[in-house]
Amino acid sequence: MDISTLTRLDDTRWRLEPSGRMRVPAVLYGDESLLRDMDDKVREQAANVAALPGIVQAVEVMPDAHWGYGFPIGGVAAFDADAGGVVCAGGVGFDISCGVRTLHTGLEEAELRTRQASLADALLSHIPAGLGSQSGITLGAGEMEAMLRGGAAWAVQQGWGEPRDLRRIEEGGCMAGAQPEHVSERARKRQRREMGTLGSGNHYLEVQAVDEVFDPAVAEAFGLSPGEVVVTIHCGSRGLGHQIGTDFLRDMLPAAAAAGIDLPDRELACVPLRSALGERYLGAMRAAMNCALANREILAHFAREVFADHFPGCRLELLFDVSHNTCKEETHRVDGRERRLFVHRKGATRAFGPGHPDLPDDLRAVGQPVLIGGSMGTGSHVLVGTEPTVSGAFASACHGAGRAMSRHAARRRWQGRDVVDELARRGILVRSPSMRGVAEEAPGAYKDVDGVVLAAERAGLARRVARLRPLICIKG
């Protein structure tokens, strides 16, 4: 990116001043190196989002941002429904409620190493992964309806999870306001056999070791200690969410024109929040959020079965589960007053700080765990939300390392088998049904996650708590 077009506010905050059709500025987070490495398309897309009706304060662009569909991935924007604000399907994305959950195992790395290979094989065998993957769970019409309304709470009721998990899941494991009646039959059909599956792309299940602790007090509150083994799951709403995004983007394009919205980019097709189509999308999107929450709960259940078989008595306790592709109605202070806003986070994680009323009682004093996925050969991070007065990005932070090159470019540069062999030499076991998928997700295809989270910390978006090093990666 040409940073000469930006105003530098400090070491990690840059401002794109309003021009042309922009109604608000854009604020980009990251050090100079991260900003220079971003595609110029990120700036262009941020400027386009800033031109949408009813947008509030600024478009916020996270340190891991890269070019996406309509919105940049790593983009955050809030809209006021009472000021003509819009909801934009491209501002949520196709993988609705894609997110991350991390679970404690109570094991130490040395103990895990004694059964590392057999555990990796068993996880791949037990957890469906890959393009079009299906599980042994088949949902009838009534079960589909219940899942879309109940989320992770439904999964627990079916025996695929633990009741104690729900207090550590965003929204208590069930997103209110879901309206399954607005989910198409095609979306339902795509999801009928996909509950409890990882899918493909950048989705994964990783077994990791706590490699380094940056904030001992918060790490203790989160139950994280050096050498401890954890399990992290990254996935979303699978085919159902993708179909909902496809359905509503198609419907929003003509509806935007009918509403008199002059779109800067057709990929930003949107409608007023206070419109029938806007309300239908929000209802369907919330149902997809419940699908994702249920999916991650079932995957955790499958992982628990494998760990219990290999390490009798091992119980995977949930640290937290949070999404990073959503639109949520939240209260934020803007210009000195509280406002109800619809916050679009696309490739950005909610990061509530200490004292937030939506956090579980036992986490409220320290803040929300912010789970940042890295690449399979580098590492991931646990951060914690900061005080609202510190972060001006609508309580949002980055969500991962962010791609540095396209999947096509990665395939040209790496062979999947070579990546697997190199990581094995470093003690990281990769299991995947697709060597092509492994090549696309090669560690070198991603930005430096350590640099991304350090920039997020310096910008006040969230604070580093612990770094996680991969031991096993199940990849779609």
Q: How confident is the model at residue 185 (pLDDT cuts 50, 70, 90)?
A: very high
> For 95-102, what is the mean pLDDT?
97
Q: Using CA atoms, how far apart are residues 126 and 196, in angstroms rounded to an integer?
A: 10
**Size of the chain, expressed as the number of residues it contains:** 476
> For 386-399, what is the mean pLDDT?
82
Catalytic residues: 399
Residue 392: the pLDDT is 77
Residue closest to 54 by CA, chosen among 324, 276, 250, 339 = 339
Pure H helices in 259-275: none
Q: Using CA atoms, how far apart are residues 64 and 361, in angstroms rounded to an integer?
A: 31
Residue closest to 109 by CA, chosen among 374, 378, 468, 474 = 468
> For 18-27, what is the mean pLDDT?
98
Structural domain tally of the chain? 1
Residue 357: the pLDDT is 93
Residue 352: the pLDDT is 96
Q: Using CA atoms, how far apart are residues 342 and 245, in angstroms rounded to an integer?
A: 17
Residue type, 372: I
Residue 191: the pLDDT is 97
Question: Domain containing 108 — which CATH number?
Answer: 3.90.1860.10
Q: Which domain holds residue 454?
A: 3-475
pLDDT at 131 over 90: no
Residue 389: the pLDDT is 54
Q: Using CA atoms, how far apart are residues 443 and 412, in angstroms rounded to an integer?
A: 14
For 208-217, how does the pLDDT look when each residue is reduced to its tens digit (9 = 90+)?
999 999 999 9
Residue 390: the pLDDT is 52
Percent share of the chain, pLDDT over 70: 99
For 365-384, how does the pLDDT look when each residue is reduced to its tens digit (9 = 90+)?
999 999 999 888 889 999 99
The answer to whether 359 touches 436, Cβ cutoff 8 Å, is no
Q: How confident is the model at residue 403 (pLDDT cuts 50, 70, 90)?
A: confident
pLDDT at 391 over 70: no
Cα of 234 vs its chain's centroid, Å? 8
**284 CB neighbour count, 10 Å cutoff:** 28
For 245-272, how does the pLDDT look when each residue is reduced to its tens digit (9 = 90+)?
999 999 999 999 999 999 999 999 999 9
Chain mean pLDDT for the chain: 96
For 424-437, how does the pLDDT look when each residue is reduced to its tens digit (9 = 90+)?
999 999 999 999 99
The answer to whether 319 touches 103, Cβ cutoff 8 Å, is yes
Q: Using CA atoms, how far apart are residues 30 and 51, in angstroms rounded to an integer?
A: 23
Residue 388: the pLDDT is 66
Diameter of the chain measured on Cα atoms: 64
> For 9-13, what is the mean pLDDT?
96
For 281-319, how does the pLDDT look when each residue is reduced to its tens digit (9 = 90+)?
999 999 999 999 999 999 999 999 999 999 999 999 999
pLDDT at 149 over 80: yes
Which stretch of 116-120, 338-342, 400-404 has the lowest confidence by average pLDDT?
400-404
pLDDT at 33 over 60: yes
Task: Give me the residues paired with residue 206 across strands.
Answer: 232, 473
